[in-house]
């Protein structure tokens, strides 16, 4: 009876979050622990499998209207954890599952931490990804616990740390292995076992068998000594600051505030440290960047759900046509999800290239220790490479990723429909061809759907699913279910040329070409776009997508939408393709790519090529800022038009699609949130100015005009 | 039926294991640890039936004969002349089935021997694996007076292979003086390698290929193959092919210090990268097996082994004059200690809170074993008095990560079902003790309805074996565990215990690395009548479970079964070789 076990379990949710109510209850229980003389130590554990505490309750922060309120919240958290830290009775945090944000801050306030080695056990401070900072003592305790560099790494990247790594870093003291089947279910017994071990630890601490002050090793002593030198610390701050500025272009305030808070604590003592943390937390919570990032977080959660319900039959056998970059990429994200995958190509060379891509993708995971070589082998056993249609009679879904040519697609759909069973879904991976045109060749258009993956498939989180008016609801549900299994964030959009994402990108690329024609060199163009917050510059993006693809899309969409999609001359792209500048895949595009080299130089041949198509810039709309807004406003206007035309289901999916698929600046939260924050009227005013020079390329759509007229109209409440 | 038997074997060949143990037992010096890395977890259960009391025979004959054939009754009665009435009564309470199957030859264990099992690095240290195997084979020859050309086939099991003698069966049999005309091969399946050797032999006899088989196993952990690193090997092989001095020099020049690091045999399960001791510790925790329970079981094993050794019960051990050293006649790993001493040891794998220690794990061992297996017909014809029937066996396998050592729990119910027996019918249990925690976990799994329902698809548990029937002469924890050789030790021990204790059925189970489990159920029922030379299958008829094609009529007695079998032949004639049952009794 000497060890009190505190079990946390939020009955209303799948995960535990630090809400006001939970905080109050914890304080109550903690007071009891302190007051009860029979209790000498305590164990803090969650009864939920897979979750310790997933973080602080975001709604609690969003409910605040002023930064002072948020600062107060932070200070309350700080106070509570300070009491835990100074508790005369040792408290052992027993961690199984996610221990993030406020959860981690809680855990590191405890005297001792035991964690399971389960794959679900992750520790981290993801606040920075929401534009916030660890506001309950995290910026003060972490540097002491894992060292200054380690703490910055955790807080500035927000990445998840697995149990093994956490032990090495000194974030947890002891690890417990997850258990297999026994006399209870593995999850249940693992939690019980964790609790038993944690209780042993608690007793050990009380009986001085476990010492809380660890003997420092030589390395540790040296490191501490070095960190004790003020000059070294200053260098670190400077260095980190420089890196952050380089990465964020100063568009994200949170990382800078984190550095500031850590610095305050280390240089001016804990009192000012905690104060700086609370005040900065309050300030950050009120920034538009934080608002945008939190919006994206909610949107992402929403886009990880299947709003079309459970499909009638789950996809167990998936066939992919075309083993190119896309096809093999789709295979790679499918085959390790327990779906038997067939990869079909027409040539042995194409097929083996694709198989090698899948193999390499899995092999790289071994190098990162995410999987073992055995897991790679057994995963690959569910991949079949073939050149014919054998086995397609068992396929539940076929995804074609063949060349973007309507005639080829028609031929393929006919060939496939001759061999697949009646329930099988035919998904087409295209970035621009309207699905209904492809479905025109189908005998059963209700089973035809578009699944637009983004390259590289294993890295890009977005999947754009396109339904025609004939696509059945079950087909959509099934496609979404497969996409979710593949780990994708999914938006479901209506059919039309370019759907949503390609359609937004096309006018921006057209504008980018015009900018190039006006004499801005690719490096400068990249700097302008990344300076606005795009993770990849427009010229680099074109190279990544492929100049040939861009030309193709520009031409197709130009035809479909008419002069509105004009801007740069399509012939620029076409000439580039003719001369073999197809982008990264051909080694040359806007830039020259040398294998093995990370840095890239501007393609020298592109200058004379652009010279041929040279346009004279109009100085009134050619300042750096104007170039940026010309690019962005066309993007945003097209996005709003997609909502207006019903291609988009709502602004949330529009924001998610733009950010996760096209790299729209996350700090702006997506085109719709950008309109809300920036002001539709201001945007329209800018566009009108460009319209005068360039004509209908910049004509704002009706919905945007409506929002400009009425400032109460907002896309996000 | 024959097919189903073969299906069992097929499983076995999938397994492979590198087994390593840093060995140590209870020496206070305490550097003995088990570190096993077995890719496959195998369990092997053998069900033996041995009734060597005449009583049971009498009972059976009395029970079955009269209604069927008076002549049989007379015959039995005469043979069981000396049986007393009490014995009769006692036997009656047991299920008196024979586990003979129509159309399948009766296969008998004639004799089993083993070298003393020694801690690695002790007296055997300078030998090679085939030396040990040879000693076991010679011991078998000596004990059985078997003519050296009377064997049809020799099969050995081993885990860590000495590369010079990769077919150790052949090298050992030639060295032991067997005729060079006898084919021999080596099998491997982690800790149940010699079980595979035996079941392979059983298969050969059943298939009509052979009548006389020597099966055995050997493991030699005092020396293991340590290789150059892959890069170094590559350079050395390229050096072989290099034609000019320049090529050679450039290859030699490419060698770096790091390439010189040797490669030890894998310590971890290949598929999961987890060591076996680690897995055992997790298994014990999953079943809530405490450190105390494990230490108690380890102490029990050593205590019982010591008693058995002192009482001379371990009669399968032959003495072996080690060249250049003394003659060895006893296992040297048996060290009964005290609970206090056991409690002092620190966990060997999961630190600091684990429960598996060097003392409650089996230790690295050198040793070899051998058994003589024959068709009953042949054994009798050669004048042998077999010790037991080998009746049935099962190999099972499961998840190599979380259920690595849980094979016995899965295999035992299966093999019992195949034989139509229950836990209570079994008189002698011999389970391989890899770790005390593993044994306790398996016993708990067998005794759990929840586990049976959730993981085995059974309605109810089969129950745990009674401890007063369980590993009464020690086990791998105390006697030692030369991976490849343990299976034969278990089978021989069951036969000897059945004879000694007067039981009818025995069951052997062993787990092996890799998440596979082979369950060998040998049910053998033996009966010595009058002159103690004649052996009769006692009785009969299991309930037909699915894969048996026998009509359910034969539910009653041995006598009927005989008749029945003949009938069955009439129905299923298709080229079945006549078996002993067709011959006279």
DSSP codes of every residue in A118-167:
-TT-EEE-GGGGGT---TTTHHHHHHHHH-HHHHHHHHHH---EEHHHHH
Q: What is the rounded CA–CA span in Å between residue B129 and residue B406?
A: 29
Cis amide linkage into residue B105, ω under 30° from 0? no
Q: Which residues of B touch A369 (CB under 8 A)?
A: none
Q: Are strands B388-397 and B516-519 parallel, antiparallel or unpaired?
A: antiparallel
Closest approach of A428 to chain B, Cα-based (Å): 37
- How many degrees, rounded to 5, is the angle at CA A334 between CA A333 and CA A339? 160
Return the closest-CA partner of residue A193 out of A58, A49, A20.
A49
Confidence (pLDDT) at B97 = 61
CB contact under 8 A, A181 and B288: no
Q: How many CB atoms lie within 10 A of CB A170?
A: 14
Q: What is the rounded CA–CA span in Å between residue A83 and residue A109?
A: 9
CA atoms within 13 A on the CB side of A84: 29
Confidence (pLDDT) at A1 = 60
Name the closest residue on chain B to residue A199, using Cα atoms: B353
CB contact under 8 A, A182 and B288: yes
Confidence (pLDDT) at A222 = 86
Contact indicator for B512, B43 with CB cutoff of 8 Å:
yes
- Checking if the pLDDT of B84 tops 60, the result is no
Cα–chain center distance at A29: 37
pTM for the structure as a whole = 0.84
Confirm whether B191 is a catalytic residue: yes
CB contact under 8 A, A181 and B444: no
Q: How many CB atoms lie within 10 A of CB A301?
A: 10
Q: Which residues of B touch A177 (CB under 8 A)?
A: 278, 281-282, 285, 350
Confidence (pLDDT) at A210 = 87
Return the closest-CA partner of residue B441 out of B292, B295, B276, B285.
B285
Count helices and strands (H / E) in chain A: 30, 19
Confidence (pLDDT) at A332 = 96
Confidence (pLDDT) at B101 = 76
Mean pLDDT of B104-113: 92
Mean pLDDT of A337-361: 95
Confidence (pLDDT) at B105 = 87
Structure-model confidence comparison of residues A291 and B60, the more confident one? A291
CB contact under 8 A, B450 and A174: no
Question: How much is the mean pLDDT over chain A?
Answer: 93
Nearest to B402 among A176, A180, A372 (CB): A180
Confidence (pLDDT) at A67 = 94
Q: Which residues of B touch A174 (CB under 8 A)?
A: 352-353
Q: Which run of H or of E encompasses B394?
A: strand B388-397
Return the closest-CA partner of residue B265 out of B226, B304, B295.
B226
Nearest to B282 among A174, A180, A185 (CB): A180
Max avg pLDDT among A428-432, B13-17, B26-30: A428-432
Contact indicator for B528, B51 with CB cutoff of 8 Å:
no
- Checking if the pLDDT of B85 tops 80, the result is no
Strand, helix or coil for residue B81: coil
DSSP one-letter string for A296-343 = HHHHHHHTTS-TT---SS---EEEEE--SHHHHHHHHHHHTTT-EEEE
Contact indicator for B407, B280 with CB cutoff of 8 Å:
no
Q: What is the rounded CA–CA span in Å between residue A240 and residue A502?
A: 37
Q: Which residues of B touch A172 (CB under 8 A)?
A: none
Mean pLDDT of A77-93: 95
Closest approach of A200 to chain B, Cα-based (Å): 8
Q: What is the rounded CA–CA span in Å between residue A547 and residue A543?
A: 6
User: pLDDT, tens digit, for every residue of A162-205?
Assistant: 999 999 999 999 999 999 999 999 999 999 999 999 999 999 99
Strand, helix or coil for residue A53: strand
B282 in A contact zone (CB under 8 Å): yes
Confidence (pLDDT) at B98 = 67
Closest approach of B433 to chain A, Cα-based (Å): 19
Q: Which run of H or of E encompasses B418?
A: helix B407-419
- Checking if the pLDDT of B66 tops 50, the result is no
- How many degrees, rounded to 5, is the angle at CA A393 between CA A387 and CA A399? 60
Q: What are phi and psi of A154, to 5 degrees?
A: -65, -50
Closest approach of B352 to chain A, Cα-based (Å): 9
Return the closest-CA partner of residue A172 out of A103, A87, A218, A273.
A103
Question: How much is the mean pLDDT over chain B?
Answer: 76
Max avg pLDDT among A231-245, A573-587, B464-478, B522-536: B464-478
- Checking if the pLDDT of A79 tops 90, the result is yes
Q: How many CB atoms lie within 10 A of CB A696?
A: 11
CB contact under 8 A, B282 and A184: no
Q: What is the rounded CA–CA span in Å between residue A367 and residue A510?
A: 40
CB contact under 8 A, B286 and A182: yes
Strand, helix or coil for residue A559: helix
Q: How many CB pairs under 8 A join A and B?
A: 62
Confidence (pLDDT) at B307 = 97
Q: Which residues of B touch A180 (CB under 8 A)?
A: 282-283, 286, 399, 401-403
Q: How many CB atoms lie within 10 A of CB A392?
A: 21
Q: Which run of H or of E encompasses A92?
A: strand A91-95
Confidence (pLDDT) at B31 = 32
B451 in A contact zone (CB under 8 Å): yes
Mean pLDDT of A328-339: 95
Structure-model confidence comparison of residues B550 and B232, the more confident one? B232
CB contact under 8 A, A177 and B448: no
CB contact under 8 A, A179 and B450: no
User: pLDDT, tens digit, for every residue of B32-44?
Assistant: 333 332 333 334 4
Catalytic annotation, pick one of B24, B64, B65, B191? B191
- List B residues 543-582 in contact with A (Cβ-Cβ < 8 A): none
Catalytic annotation, pick one of A105, A400, A464, A653? A464
C-alpha dihedral sign at A242, A247, A250, A256: negative
The 3 state secondary structure assigned to B483-547 is: HHHHHHHHHHHHHHHHHHHCCCEEEEEEECECCEEEECCCCCCCCEECCCCEECCCCCCCCCCCC
CB contact under 8 A, B283 and A193: no
CB contact under 8 A, A179 and B441: no
Task: Give bridge partners of residue A400 from the DSSP assignment.
Answer: A321, A428
CB contact under 8 A, B287 and A180: no
Residue A407 carries which DSSP code? H
Which pair of tokens denotes residue A331?
A: 């295979």
User: pLDDT, tens digit, for every residue of A511-520?
Assistant: 999 999 999 9
Q: Which run of H or of E encompasses B293?
A: helix B291-310
Name the closest residue on chain A to residue B446, using Cα atoms: A183
Q: What is the rounded CA–CA span in Å between residue B161 and residue B157?
A: 10
CA atoms within 13 A on the CB side of B516: 26
Q: What percent of chain A has pLDDT over 90?
A: 81
Return the closest-CA partner of residue A444 out of A410, A471, A480, A409.
A471
Closest approach of A188 to chain B, Cα-based (Å): 10
DSSP one-letter string for B311-338 = TT--TTBPPEE-TTS-EE-S-S------
- List B residues 324-353 in contact with A (Cβ-Cβ < 8 A): 350, 352-353
Using alpha carbons only, how large is chain B's radius of gyration in Å?
A: 24
Q: What is the rounded CA–CA span in Å between residue A35 and residue A21?
A: 21
Give chain B's end-to-end CA distance (angstroms, integer).
23
* Residue B10 vs residues A493, B3, B319, B456: alpha-carbon distances, Å: 53, 11, 36, 21
Determine the residue among B282, B289, B346 to mutate to test chain A binding: the one whose Cβ has the most chain A Cβ atoms within 10 Å.
B282
CB contact under 8 A, B286 and A189: yes
Give chain A's end-to-end CA distance (angstroms, integer).
52
For chain A, which residues lie within 8 Å of any Cβ of chain B, measuring from their own Cβ? 174, 176-186, 189, 193, 197, 200, 372, 374
CB contact under 8 A, A179 and B282: yes
Contact indicator for B418, B545 with CB cutoff of 8 Å:
yes
Strand A3-8's sheet: what is its strand order? A3-8, A41-46, A91-95, A112-116, A174-176
Q: Which run of H or of E encompasses A572?
A: helix A570-578
Mean pLDDT of B479-489: 95
Q: What percent of chain A has pLDDT over 70?
A: 100
Q: Which run of H or of E encompasses B154?
A: strand B153-157
Return the closest-CA partner of residue A484 out of A276, A629, A334, A696.
A334
Lowest mean pLDDT among A97-101, A466-470, B90-94, B300-304: B90-94
Residue A695 makes CB contacts below 8 A (sequence gap 6+) with A563
* Dihedral angle computed from the Cα positions of residues B318, B322, B326 and B331, in that order, rounded to the nearest 10 degrees: -40
Residue B154 makes CB contacts below 8 A (sequence gap 6+) with B137, B169, B170, B173, B178, B182, B183, B184, B185, B213, B214, B215, B216
Which pair of tokens denotes residue A312?
A: 């009638």
Confidence (pLDDT) at A639 = 97
Q: Which residues of A touch B281 (CB under 8 A)?
A: 177
B165 in A contact zone (CB under 8 Å): no
Using alpha carbons only, how large is chain A's radius of gyration in Å?
A: 28
Name the closest residue on chain A to residue B399, using Cα atoms: A180
Residue A619 carries which DSSP code? G
User: pLDDT, tens digit, for every residue of A247-305?
Assistant: 889 999 999 999 999 999 999 999 999 999 999 999 999 999 999 999 999 999 999 99
- Checking if the pLDDT of B551 tops 50, the result is no
Confidence (pLDDT) at B86 = 36
- List B residues 417-446 in contact with A (Cβ-Cβ < 8 A): 441, 444-445
Phi-psi region of A496 (alpha: psi -120 to 50; beta: other; left: phi over 0): left
Confidence (pLDDT) at B264 = 85
Q: What is the rounded CA–CA span in Å between residue B492 and residue B511?
A: 17
């Amino acid at each position: 009876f000497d060890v009190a076990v505190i079990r946390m379990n939020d009955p209303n949710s799948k995960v535990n979050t630090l809400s006001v109510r939970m905080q109050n209850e914890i304080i109550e229980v903690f007071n009891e622990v302190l007051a009860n003389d029979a209790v000498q130590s305590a164990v803090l554990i969650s009864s939920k499998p897979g979750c310790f505490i997933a973080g602080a309750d975001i709604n609690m922060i969003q409910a605040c209207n002023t930064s002072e309120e948020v600062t107060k919240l932070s200070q309350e958290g700080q106070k509570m954890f300070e009491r835990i830290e100074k508790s005369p009775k040792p408290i052992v945090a027993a961690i199984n599952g996610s221990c993030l944000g406020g959860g981690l801050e809680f855990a590191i306030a405890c005297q001792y931490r035991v964690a399971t080695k389960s794959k679900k056990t992750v520790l981290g401070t993801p606040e920075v990804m929401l534009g916030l900072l660890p506001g309950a003592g995290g910026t003060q305790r972490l540097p002491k616990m894992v060292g200054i560099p380690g703490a910055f790494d955790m807080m500035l990247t927000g990445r998840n740390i697995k149990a093994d790594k956490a032990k090495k870093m000194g974030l947890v003291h002891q690890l417990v292995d997850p258990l297999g089947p026994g006399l209870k279910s593995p999850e249940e017994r693992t939690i019980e076992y964790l609790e038993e071990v944690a209780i042993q630890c608690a007793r050990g601490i009380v009986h001085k068998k476990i010492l809380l002050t660890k003997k420092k090793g030589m390395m540790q002593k040296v490191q501490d000594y070095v960190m004790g030198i003020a000059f070294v610390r200053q260098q670190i701050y400077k260095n980190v600051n420089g890196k952050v500025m380089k990465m964020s272009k100063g568009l994200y305030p949170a990382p800078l505030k984190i550095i500031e808070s850590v610095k305050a604590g280390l240089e001016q003592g804990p009192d000012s440290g905690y104060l700086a943390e609370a005040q900065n937390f309050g300030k950050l919570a009120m920034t538009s960047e934080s608002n945008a990032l939190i919006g994206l977080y909610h949107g992402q959660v929403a886009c990880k759900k299947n709003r079309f319900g459970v499909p009638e039959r789950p996809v167990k056998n998936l066939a992919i046509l075309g083993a190119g970059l896309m096809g093999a990429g789709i295979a790679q994200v499918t085959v390790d999800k327990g779906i038997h995958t067939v990869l079909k190509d027409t040539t042995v060379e194409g097929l083996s290239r694709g198989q090698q891509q899948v193999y390499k993708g899995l092999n790289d995971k071994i190098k990162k220790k995410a999987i073992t070589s055995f897991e790679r082998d057994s995963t690959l056993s569910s991949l079949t490479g073939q050149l014919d249609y054998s086995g397609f009679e068992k396929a539940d879904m076929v995804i074609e990723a063949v060349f973007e040519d309507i005639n080829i697609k028609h031929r393929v759909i006919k060939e496939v429909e001759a061999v697949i069973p009646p329930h099988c879904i035919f998904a087409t991976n295209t970035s621009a061809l309207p699905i209904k045109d492809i479905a025109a060749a189908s005998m059963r258009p209700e089973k035809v759907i578009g699944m637009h993956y983004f390259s590289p498939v294993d890295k890009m989180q977005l999947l754009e699913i396109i339904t025609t008016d004939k696509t059945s609801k079950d087909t959509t549900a099934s496609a979404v279910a497969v996409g979710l299994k593949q780990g994708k964030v999914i938006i479901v959009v209506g059919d039309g040329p370019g759907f949503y994402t390609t359609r937004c990108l096309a006018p921006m690329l057209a504008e980018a070409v015009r900018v190039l024609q006006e004499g801005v060199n690719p490096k400068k163009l990249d700097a302008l776009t990344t300076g606005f917050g795009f993770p990849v510059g427009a010229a680099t993006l074109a190279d990544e997508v492929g100049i040939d693809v861009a030309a193709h899309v520009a031409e197709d969409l130009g035809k479909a939408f008419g002069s509105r999609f004009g801007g740069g001359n399509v012939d620029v792209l076409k000439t580039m393709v003719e001369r073999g500048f197809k982008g990264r895949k051909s080694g040359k595009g806007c830039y020259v790519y040398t294998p093995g080299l990370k840095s890239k130089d501007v393609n020298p041949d592109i200058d004379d090529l652009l010279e041929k198509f040279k346009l004279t810039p109009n100085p009134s709309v050619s300042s750096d800022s104007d170039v940026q807004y010309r690019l962005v406003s066309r993007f945003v206007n097209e996005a709003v038009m997609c909502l207006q035309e019903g291609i988009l289901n709502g602004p949330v999916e529009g924001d998610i699609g733009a950010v996760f698929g096209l790299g729209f600046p996350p700090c702006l939260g997506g085109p719709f949130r950008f309109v809300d924050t920036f002001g539709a009227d201001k945007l329209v005013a800018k566009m009108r100015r460009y319209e005068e020079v360039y004509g209908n390329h910049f004509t704002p759509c009706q919905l945007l005009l409506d929002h400009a007229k009425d400032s109460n109209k907002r896309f996000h409440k | 039926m024959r097919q189903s038997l073969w299906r069992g074997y097929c499983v076995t060949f999938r397994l492979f294991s590198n087994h390593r143990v840093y060995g140590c037992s209870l020496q206070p010096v305490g550097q003995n640890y088990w570190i096993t890395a077995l890719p496959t977890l195998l369990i092997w259960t053998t069900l033996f039936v041995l009734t060597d009391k005449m009583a049971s025979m009498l009972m059976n004959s009395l029970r079955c004969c009269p209604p069927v054939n008076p002549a049989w009754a007379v015959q039995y009665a005469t043979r069981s002349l000396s049986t007393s009435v009490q014995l009769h009564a006692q036997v009656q309470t047991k299920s008196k089935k024979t586990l003979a199957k129509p159309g399948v030859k009766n296969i008998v264990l004639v004799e089993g021997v083993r070298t003393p099992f020694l801690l690695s690095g002790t007296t055997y240290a300078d030998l090679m694996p085939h030396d040990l195997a040879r000693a076991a084979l010679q011991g078998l020859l000596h004990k059985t007076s078997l003519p050296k050309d009377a064997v049809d086939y020799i099969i050995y099991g081993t885990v860590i292979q000495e590369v010079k003698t990769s077919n150790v069966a052949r090298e050992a049999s030639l060295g032991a003086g067997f005729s060079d005309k006898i084919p021999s091969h080596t099998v491997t399946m982690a800790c149940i390698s010699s079980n595979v050797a035996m079941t392979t032999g059983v298969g050969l006899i059943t298939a009509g290929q052979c009548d006389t088989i020597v099966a055995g196993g050997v493991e030699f952990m005092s020396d293991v193959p340590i290789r150059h690193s892959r890069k170094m090997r590559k350079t050395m092989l390229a050096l072989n092919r290099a034609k000019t001095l320049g090529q050679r020099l450039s290859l030699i020049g490419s060698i770096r210090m790091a390439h010189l690091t040797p490669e030890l045999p894998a310590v971890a399960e290949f598929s999961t990268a987890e060591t076996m001791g680690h897995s055992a510790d997790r298994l014990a925790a999953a079943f809530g097996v405490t450190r105390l329970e494990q230490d108690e079981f380890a102490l029990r094993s050593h205590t019982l082994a010591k008693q058995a050794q002192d009482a001379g019960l371990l009669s399968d051990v032959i003495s072996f004059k080690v060249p250049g050293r003394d003659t060895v006649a006893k296992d040297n790993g048996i060290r009964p200690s005290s609970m206090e001493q056991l409690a002092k040891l620190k966990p060997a794998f999961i630190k600091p809170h684990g429960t598996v220690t060097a003392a409650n794990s089996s230790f690295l061992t050198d040793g070899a074993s051998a058994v003589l297996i024959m068709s009953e017909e042949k054994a009798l014809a050669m004048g042998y008095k077999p010790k037991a029937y080998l009746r049935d066996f099962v190999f099972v396998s499961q998840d190599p990560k979380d259920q690595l050592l849980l094979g016995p729990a899965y295999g035992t119910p299966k093999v019992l079902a195949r034989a139509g027996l229950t836990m209570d019918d079994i008189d002698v249990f011999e389970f391989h003790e890899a770790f005390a925690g593993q044994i306790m976990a398996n016993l708990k799994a067998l005794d759990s309805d929840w586990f049976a329902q959730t993981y085995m698809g059974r309605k109810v548990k089969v129950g745990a074996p009674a401890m007063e029937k369980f590993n009464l002469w020690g086990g791998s924890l105390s006697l030692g565990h030369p991976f490849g050789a343990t299976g034969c030790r278990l089978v021989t021990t069951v036969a000897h215990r059945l004879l000694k204790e007067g039981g009818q059925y025995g069951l052997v189970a062993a787990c092996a690395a890799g998440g596979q489990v082979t369950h060998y159920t040998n049910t053998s029922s033996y009966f010595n009548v009058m002159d103690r030379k004649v052996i009769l299958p006692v009785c009969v008829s299991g309930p037909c479970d699915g894969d048996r094609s026998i009509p359910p009529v034969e539910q009653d007695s041995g006598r009927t079964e005989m008749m029945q079998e003949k009938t069955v032949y009439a129905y299923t004639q298709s080229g079945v070789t006549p078996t002993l049952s067709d011959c006279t009794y």
